[in-house]
Structure 1
Amino acid sequence: MSPEYPFDEGATARAVVDDDGVLVEWNAGARRLLGWPAAEVVGRPAAELLAGGDHGGHDAPEGLRWDGVLTLRHHNGGTVSVWLLAHRRPPENGTPGSWILLTPLEGDAPRSPDDPLDTAALVQSPCALAIYDDRLRLRRINAAMEEIIGLPEERVRGLRLPEMSGRPQTADSERHLHRVLTTGRGHDVRTYLEVGGDGGVAAWLARMAPVRDETGRVLGVSVTVHDFTEQHLARERLQLVNEASVRIGTTLEVTRTAQELADVCVPALADFVSVDLLDPAEPGGDPFNGPPTLPVHLRRAAHRSINPGSPEAVAKPGQVDLYPASSPQADSLLVGHTIVASTDTDDLSEWLSWDKARAQRIKEYGIHSTMSVPIRARGLTLGVAVLTRFRRLDTFTPDDVLLAEEVTARAAVCIDNARRYSRERETALALQRSLLPRSLPRTAAVEAASRYLPAARAGVGGDWFDVIPLSGMRVAMVVGDVIGQGIQASATMGRLRTAVRTLADIDLAPDELLTHLDDLVVRLSEEAGNEGSPGEVGATCLYAVYDPISRRCTLAGAGHPAPLMTRPGSRPEQIELPAGPALGLGGLPFESTEFELPEGTVLALFTDGLVESRERDVDAGHDLLRAALAPPSDSLDETCDRVLHALLPPGGSADDVALLLARTRGLPPSQVATWDIPADPALVSPIRRQVVEQLGRWSLSAASFTAELVVSELVTNAIRYGSHPIRLRLIHDADTLICEVSDTSHTAPHLRRAKTWDEGGRGLLLVAQLTERWGSRHTPDGKTIWAEIALPSDEE
């Protein structure tokens, strides 16, 4: 017998047979079983011990284990039937393989009914055990079960389970006992009971099995109870972490994310949670990357309580409070890790002595434990979350601290993402609004109103609109949409809007303007590719030019939704626009269309964010837009608001929206005078007199001197350098007189500075000095030179 362990080697018969079938070991238990001494069998074939003399009829078993009954030869000449258990021992480190043969020698020894080893399974087992009879009344329990129910066996023997416990849950447990008793099949039941009155939960697994007699008849039910509270709490903590990963960070809003953090922690981890965030030192800057300076300024971002209305809160959401060094918020931020305080250690009252209001709330609600967790992400300190308990009587444990830090760490990344997104969005939005027109110009051609709304949830995009006055009282209207979102899209939008204004200033036709704009977008895309920017630059655009004199409108589109028009007394209808490729594809042609617009027609130009939505298709969006434009209204601003209210969800659109409404005006014929100019320079003088007479009829005699000089110069240049026919046109509105001279030559004049002794070259310089602005534009038949003369106001 080994001195370390109380093993009786003689109680087991053991022999070892090598792979060649030779006995190599033979213990005292084997001699006790078969009577053979070791010296007579070791080294001989094991098959010789088999009864019947068949020494070669048994092959080695397969696998790593074998058991069965063999008849063996006894030393006294008799035979013994023995159950053997054989284990395969494979070769290792040069040692040959072998089989170990075992059989117990004392397993069938008679047992005393009072043998303590037989009763230990019931009485002394660490597993709580109870036996119920066929009436489901308690027969036996062991010491472990007595400790659980808090009553000795002799007091509760004969009671039913609900009678012992008194808890409503035990009625269900008894039904499970009855099910096992009647079906004869075991059953497992999980039970969760509140313990201690502090909200704690004890988790138990009850394994119910039938108790049978020798005939198999069910006599009762045995119940073994296992406490798996620790596993249950660990599972709950893991579930809370998983829930936090799902519920926190559903949006890119800082306050919403902070509120989600508080909502997750109540009531699973605390009775009240407040989330306070640091304001950056500079607007739009980063929070602190180290310990903050004292006192700490924190803004309440969110809080949550088990009590409706969060009456425990001292600060309101959005309120900024000062936290000195003795406060839990400041202390945890300074040391950079979680701090727990409770009334048991007297540090909570000392910790919050700096604030009488908070001390009063502690006393009023019985707050006994506080945990302050810094909110940090990517090396930045964002704020602090404070968790308190008052209804739950247990204080925060180290496991609670780890759980709170894990949940807060996940929330911190989401808060930082939301903060970074908000900052970028505000920057992009500020850039976007600075690049859009602050107000629309007042023109004689159209009355206009506009709206721009950034995307509610996505980044700011590149939608834009513009109204550009052109020569001859005409006006250009444009809407566009840059592909992408964020600052890059806004910057690209600004470049395109500037390019459109520049191209419009030289009076390009809509299709030509889009061709030049397409070239620009192609170059921008190439630049972005060279700089390693992801994706390509692309955009859509719609450009329209309206002439109030002819009442005609010319449009061209580049992959943009066609506009709608509402003629006076008619229903809104979509304009048939030639399909054009989006800007940035390069080399594809653009086509324009021209049609007449009666005075008072409303044009609706918009980006796709207005009509496209995940909740409806584009056709449904156009139907809603037509319905919103149909009611007549004197105010285009009211119409804009009605359109946005009808088409956009309450939370805003998923994409940027730009809307431009323009009501056309017509210039009456009485404000336009036209003359066909003969090819004789001697007839310029009569033309000047006719101009002066016309200005007299318009009561614009004060501008006669300037108009005479401008008309004389432009007409003379057209006769000398232009091609016939030549036409002079005067247009006036309230504050401007426009002189236009058209001919069929495509050669445009240019301004140059005349030298001292030059006899020519001063004409256009004189025109430029006498007028507000002048220029030329190409027409299908030639060119037009124009000049605008400012008219004196009535007050002057």
Structure 2
Amino acid sequence: MTTPPDPTAPRVRPDPPPGAPGLATATVDDHGVLTGWSEGARRLLGYRAEEVVGRPAAELRAEPTAGGATGDTAGVTAGDTGRCLADEPRWSGRIALCHRDGHPVEVELLAQRGPGGPGGPVGDGPADWLLVSAAPLEPQEPGVPADHVFAQCPCVLALFDTELRLARANAYMQAATARSEEQMRGLRLTELVGHGESEGVERAMRRVLESGERLELEAHLREPGDRQEHAWSVSLAPLANPTGGLRGVCFAARDTTAEQEARQRLQLLNEAGARLSGHLDLDRIAQELAEVAVPRLADFASVDLLTFLHEGDEPPEGPLREPITLRRAAHRSVLEGAPEALVDVGSLATHPEHSPTAACLIKGRAARYQVTPSLLARWEATDPGRAARIREHESHSVIVAPMRARGVTLGAAFFARHRTPAPFTDDDTLLAEELTSRAAVCVDNTRRYLRERGTAEALQRSLLPQRLPELTALEIASRYLPSGAWAGVGGDWFDAIQVSGGRAAVVVGDVVGRGIHAAATMGRLRTAVRTLADCDLPPGELLTHLDDLVTRLSSDESPESFGSFGATCLYAIYDPVSRRCTISAAGHPAPLVADPGGTADLLDLPTGPPLGLGGLPFETMETELPEGSLLALYTNGLINGREREIGAGLETLRDVLSRPAPSLDALCDDVLRALPPTHPDDDIALLLARTRALHSDRVATWDIPADAPAVAEARRSTTEQLIGWGLEETVFTTELIVSELVTNAIRYGRPPIRLRLIRDRDLICEVSDASSTAPHMRRARVFDEGGRGLMLVAQMATRWGTRQSTDGKTIWVEQDVSTGSTGSTDATDATDATDATDATG
């Protein structure tokens, strides 16, 4: 064994090395000489600092190191080895040192460079090695630390024996049960806190004794004298004696009521967010808020909204002024029938000056009240009715929160407790504010949505026909039902148009998309259809022009104006003289036709592509419809939806159209009752048209030879027919018109030439020929021999125009004979009419 240092040698007394009082620390330089010695090192080896500092550290070794350390332990005891360790920043290992009294001491030693060594600050010089090892603690009085820790443990802590009777309890356990340890010793848990969940805890303690394993569980226990039940996180652990046998159970519990309440508030907010955001109805949102709050936050809750919301007005300008009138939107109570409510849902209530609701709305922040006799007396002075209800139901705590969103005051929410004994806290006030704020955002979203939807619906309805025309060819009835979907109204539309020759055109269409853009686009298309219909275009050609329009609009405007394919449309023209109907469709559902006997069926109509694709043809179908047939035009929303597939919708529509009805309006109502839901997913447009016929007694037709004398014969035949119809007052004007049209047809047209008179609401004169070249009106100069004919015809007629057909053209002129007005002209004009020579185009 190495000889210990001579205690009589002179020593330098250095500063103690760094380290905590419980550690043995020393410092050694690169030559292995001790340069520092701590009080912990003295307790470990018995040497004072002045006895060892300045001596080689190797003198403290009990025996030579034989290995087993992480690194060479000689590096801390010999100069040569220390030089080898000079390049390493850290070393650790086990080593035997010699105590001052001569016995060896095994220590776990850690050696590391100080801040001035390699890698340390430049210029600090060589650094010492710091040696660290655990030092023994000073002897303590037995049993004191354990008792102290047990008594001061920051949770409820108790020891139960194998009989599950309490043996020890700390201060928190004594406070929780309101008993001293002496009073509790020998009692079971059920005897301390009563039966209930404590029985389940005792069963868990028994399982711990039987299995020897720890258990974690949650329990809800009521402390003595406390009206509120608390949540506890309980840990049960077996207690073993030195021989391994079980001595009892350690019971540790921590009150987690605050944590659970925080989680419950967060869950309530999450649930409220999901429930409130799923509606676009003001009263439904208010009801959801009341249902979320009761009973988990309050025993009674009411939601009142400012009246402008239900009336569709804009928010009031400036600050609110007392008294404030609100409409009750919803209330809910833990009591049946909500007897706490002063007004019914939907009723108005005025909140006077200085009342809690009026004050919170004017200040714009929530207020919490603990109802005391003095406070209740003040409320009775300003709002005796509500104060009486509060007194009657013994409400002891109240929160009033304003509903505000985006700077707009919308209403107020009222929360009260009368069955729950605990009063509202600051956390409850924050929760009520957050719930009310979320509901306010939903109410404001609904307000904005309803305003935009109302604007779009008003635009849609203003662009639809306000009154369908009275047609000779068709009896018309229609219905329009806006969508109940969140996206708002769509672009469904319909129309009925009087065209030439006593014919009638009906059209129905659907613009892809919703909202104001769809309504505006619908108005454009309806205007375009009416304009093209006035040009007497056949259905297929009209849809081609309409397709070009949609294509241009789709490319010129923003994508919101049109969807992928723009729009769908169906256009049909019915001729009451021939009783033939010509139909063409662009991506639109085919119409249903019910014959006079009541049998309804779907027309086998070739459907072209939707409008907006461009470049594709639209096929036309022509069918004969007996007088009294029913033609049903509709949009896709009528027969399709979430509750019904298209096939089932068509079958239902076919069944309804097959049943007799007193009128077309009644039949429209029957269709809407049978098919769409209360809030359809898509707009619905329905147009029903029953066909009429113009019989032979109201139509006269003549074939005209292509020579000049035929003009006089045409005038003579016209006069005889007008006298037969009792229209003698129209003879002169009609003769002029017939002379002009027949003369032009003979001179510039091609045979065959045909003259037709139709006695409708108006008197219609038509001249047809095989030429497709249409005349145009021009103003004649002073010395021109012709050019005045069509201008004279236009002055005498109500309307006139040209329509093309597959075998030529027809020039038609209408005169209003309802009041006997026939137009007027003088003899000079009549002479000019017979000699008119209008140029053809």
How does the TM-score come out when normalised to structure 1?
0.89
Separation in structure 1 between the aligned mates of residue 304 and residue 58 of structure 2, nearest angstrom: 84
Separation in structure 2 between the aligned mates of residue 155 and residue 38 of structure 1, nearest angstrom: 55
Greater shift in the superposed pair: 286-295 or 466-475: 286-295
Q: Judging changes above 3 Å, is the alpha-carbon distance between structure 1 residues 55 and 67 closer, same or farther for their aligned structure 2 residues? A: closer
Q: Judging changes above 3 Å, is the alpha-carbon distance between structure 1 residues 16 and 624 closer, same or farther for their aligned structure 2 residues? A: farther
Separation in structure 1 between the aligned mates of residue 616 and residue 604 of structure 2, nearest angstrom: 20
Q: In the alignment, is the contact (CA less than 8 A) between 1:272 and 1:306 conserved in 2?
A: yes
Separation in structure 2 between the aligned mates of residue 154 and residue 175 of structure 1, nearest angstrom: 24
Q: Secondary structure at the match of 1:250?
A: coil
What is the Cα deviation at residue 436 of structure 1? 0.9
- Residue 701 of structure 2 is matched in structure 1 by 674
What is the Cα deviation at residue 551 of structure 1? 2.3
Q: Judging changes above 3 Å, is the alpha-carbon distance between structure 1 residues 424 and 298 closer, same or farther for their aligned structure 2 residues? A: same
- Residue 714 of structure 1 is matched in structure 2 by 741
Separation in structure 2 between the aligned mates of residue 410 and residue 579 of structure 1, nearest angstrom: 49
- Residue 5 of structure 1 is matched in structure 2 by none
Code of the residue aligned with 1:387 in structure 2: it is: F
Of 516, 530, 542 in structure 2, the residue corresponding to residue 501 of structure 1 is 530
Of 750, 760, 763 in structure 2, the residue corresponding to residue 737 of structure 1 is 763
Structural mapping, 1:238-317, within 5 Å: 238-280=266-308, 284-288=312-316, 290-317=318-345
What is the Cα deviation at residue 66 of structure 1? 11
Code of the residue aligned with 2:240 in structure 1: it is: R
Q: Judging changes above 3 Å, is the alpha-carbon distance between structure 1 residues 577 and 789 closer, same or farther for their aligned structure 2 residues? A: same
Q: Deviations over 1:10-31 (max 9, x none)?
A: 7653446789987654323323
Of 37, 43, 48 in structure 2, the residue corresponding to residue 32 of structure 1 is 43
What is the Cα deviation at residue 207 of structure 1? 1.0
What is the Cα deviation at residue 166 of structure 1? 2.3
Q: Secondary structure at the match of 1:432?
A: helix
Q: Deviations over 1:586-620 (max 9, x none)?
A: 33333322223333333222222223323454444
- Residue 539 of structure 2 is matched in structure 1 by 510
- Residue 813 of structure 2 is matched in structure 1 by 787
Residue 52 in 1 paired to residue 81 in 2? Answer: no
Separation in structure 2 between the aligned mates of residue 87 and residue 628 of structure 1, nearest angstrom: 99
Greater shift in the superposed pair: 690-699 or 716-725: 690-699
Code of the residue aligned with 1:308 in structure 2: it is: E
Q: Judging changes above 3 Å, is the alpha-carbon distance between structure 1 residues 321 and 400 closer, same or farther for their aligned structure 2 residues? A: same
Q: Deviations over 1:700-754 (max 9, x none)?
A: 5554444434333322332233222110112224x33322111122233344556
Separation in structure 2 between the aligned mates of residue 98 and residue 594 of structure 1, nearest angstrom: 109
Of 676, 681, 685 in structure 2, the residue corresponding to residue 654 of structure 1 is 681
Of 588, 598, 623 in structure 1, the residue corresponding to residue 626 of structure 2 is 598
Q: In the alignment, is the contact (CA less than 8 A) between 2:492 and 2:510 conserved in 1?
A: yes
Greater shift in the superposed pair: 741-750 or 95-104: 95-104
Q: Judging changes above 3 Å, is the alpha-carbon distance between structure 1 residues 282 and 636 closer, same or farther for their aligned structure 2 residues? A: closer
- Residue 175 of structure 1 is matched in structure 2 by 203
- Residue 451 of structure 1 is matched in structure 2 by 479
Q: Judging changes above 3 Å, is the alpha-carbon distance between structure 1 residues 110 and 400 closer, same or farther for their aligned structure 2 residues? A: closer
| Identical columns (%) | 53
Of 18, 24, 30 in structure 2, the residue corresponding to residue 13 of structure 1 is 24
- Residue 494 of structure 2 is matched in structure 1 by 465
Of 713, 721, 741 in structure 2, the residue corresponding to residue 686 of structure 1 is 713
- Residue 799 of structure 2 is matched in structure 1 by 773
- Residue 361 of structure 1 is matched in structure 2 by 389
Q: Secondary structure at the match of 1:270?
A: coil
Separation in structure 2 between the aligned mates of residue 660 and residue 90 of structure 1, nearest angstrom: 97
Separation in structure 2 between the aligned mates of residue 20 and residue 777 of structure 1, nearest angstrom: 121
Greater shift in the superposed pair: 521-530 or 422-431: 521-530
Separation in structure 2 between the aligned mates of residue 152 and residue 332 of structure 1, nearest angstrom: 48
What is the Cα deviation at residue 244 of structure 1? 2.0
What is the Cα deviation at residue 250 of structure 1? 0.9
Q: Gaps (5+ residues) in structure 2?
A: 1-18, 74-87, 821-841
Q: Secondary structure at the match of 1:626?
A: helix
What is the Cα deviation at residue 388 of structure 1? 2.3
Of 508, 516, 521 in structure 2, the residue corresponding to residue 492 of structure 1 is 521
- Name the count of aligned residue pairs: 780
Q: Judging changes above 3 Å, is the alpha-carbon distance between structure 1 residues 428 and 792 closer, same or farther for their aligned structure 2 residues? A: closer
Q: Judging changes above 3 Å, is the alpha-carbon distance between structure 1 residues 23 and 643 closer, same or farther for their aligned structure 2 residues? A: farther
Structural mapping, 1:152-167, within 5 Å: 152-167=180-195
Structural mapping, 1:542-553, within 5 Å: 542-553=570-581
Separation in structure 2 between the aligned mates of residue 443 and residue 728 of structure 1, nearest angstrom: 23
Q: Judging changes above 3 Å, is the alpha-carbon distance between structure 1 residues 328 and 98 closer, same or farther for their aligned structure 2 residues? A: farther
What is the Cα deviation at residue 416 of structure 1? 1.1
Q: In the alignment, is the contact (CA less than 8 A) between 2:367 and 2:401 conserved in 1?
A: yes
Q: Judging changes above 3 Å, is the alpha-carbon distance between structure 1 residues 11 and 363 closer, same or farther for their aligned structure 2 residues? A: closer
Code of the residue aligned with 1:745 in structure 2: it is: S
Q: Gaps (5+ residues) in structure 1?
A: 1-7
Structural mapping, 1:316-327, within 5 Å: 316-327=344-355
Greater shift in the superposed pair: 489-498 or 89-98: 89-98
Q: Judging changes above 3 Å, is the alpha-carbon distance between structure 1 residues 350 and 10 closer, same or farther for their aligned structure 2 residues? A: closer
- Residue 189 of structure 1 is matched in structure 2 by 217
Q: Judging changes above 3 Å, is the alpha-carbon distance between structure 1 residues 746 and 264 closer, same or farther for their aligned structure 2 residues? A: same
Separation in structure 2 between the aligned mates of residue 64 and residue 576 of structure 1, nearest angstrom: 94
Q: Judging changes above 3 Å, is the alpha-carbon distance between structure 1 residues 490 and 79 closer, same or farther for their aligned structure 2 residues? A: same
Q: Deviations over 1:504-527 (max 9, x none)?
A: 111111121112212222332344
Q: Judging changes above 3 Å, is the alpha-carbon distance between structure 1 residues 48 and 456 closer, same or farther for their aligned structure 2 residues? A: farther
Q: In the alignment, is the contact (CA less than 8 A) between 2:554 and 2:562 conserved in 1?
A: no
Greater shift in the superposed pair: 145-154 or 244-253: 145-154
Q: Judging changes above 3 Å, is the alpha-carbon distance between structure 1 residues 575 and 743 closer, same or farther for their aligned structure 2 residues? A: same
Q: In the alignment, is the contact (CA less than 8 A) between 2:178 and 2:224 conserved in 1?
A: no
Q: Secondary structure at the match of 2:382?
A: coil
Q: Deviations over 1:36-77 (max 9, x none)?
A: 444565577767655430277633599999998654333444
Of 728, 745, 750 in structure 1, the residue corresponding to residue 755 of structure 2 is 728
Structure with the greater alpha carbon radius of gyration: 2
Q: Judging changes above 3 Å, is the alpha-carbon distance between structure 1 residues 629 and 51 closer, same or farther for their aligned structure 2 residues? A: farther
Code of the residue aligned with 1:506 in structure 2: it is: C
How does the TM-score come out when normalised to structure 2?
0.84
Separation in structure 1 between the aligned mates of residue 406 and residue 149 of structure 2, nearest angstrom: 57
- Residue 3 of structure 1 is matched in structure 2 by none
- Residue 232 of structure 2 is matched in structure 1 by 204
Separation in structure 2 between the aligned mates of residue 693 and residue 482 of structure 1, nearest angstrom: 51
Q: In the alignment, is the contact (CA less than 8 A) between 2:353 and 2:382 conserved in 1?
A: no
Q: Judging changes above 3 Å, is the alpha-carbon distance between structure 1 residues 57 and 158 closer, same or farther for their aligned structure 2 residues? A: closer
Of 157, 163, 169 in structure 2, the residue corresponding to residue 129 of structure 1 is 157
CA RMSD in angstroms comes to 3.5
Q: In the alignment, is the contact (CA less than 8 A) between 2:598 and 2:659 conserved in 1?
A: no
Of 437, 441, 447 in structure 2, the residue corresponding to residue 409 of structure 1 is 437
What is the Cα deviation at residue 329 of structure 1? 2.2
Q: In the alignment, is the contact (CA less than 8 A) between 2:70 and 2:92 conserved in 1?
A: no
Q: Secondary structure at the match of 1:675?
A: strand
Q: Secondary structure at the match of 1:353?
A: helix
Separation in structure 2 between the aligned mates of residue 428 and residue 771 of structure 1, nearest angstrom: 40
Separation in structure 1 between the aligned mates of residue 562 and residue 663 of structure 2, nearest angstrom: 44
Q: In the alignment, is the contact (CA less than 8 A) between 1:525 and 1:536 conserved in 2?
A: no
- Residue 103 of structure 2 is matched in structure 1 by 78
What is the Cα deviation at residue 425 of structure 1? 0.6
Q: In the alignment, is the contact (CA less than 8 A) between 2:495 and 2:506 conserved in 1?
A: yes
Separation in structure 1 between the aligned mates of residue 270 and residue 206 of structure 2, nearest angstrom: 38
Separation in structure 1 between the aligned mates of residue 696 and residue 56 of structure 2, nearest angstrom: 132
Q: Judging changes above 3 Å, is the alpha-carbon distance between structure 1 residues 233 and 99 closer, same or farther for their aligned structure 2 residues? A: farther
Separation in structure 1 between the aligned mates of residue 161 and residue 695 of structure 2, nearest angstrom: 110
Q: Judging changes above 3 Å, is the alpha-carbon distance between structure 1 residues 137 and 325 closer, same or farther for their aligned structure 2 residues? A: same
Structural mapping, 1:499-648, within 5 Å: 499-529=528-558, 538-569=566-597, 571-648=599-676
Greater shift in the superposed pair: 197-206 or 140-149: 197-206
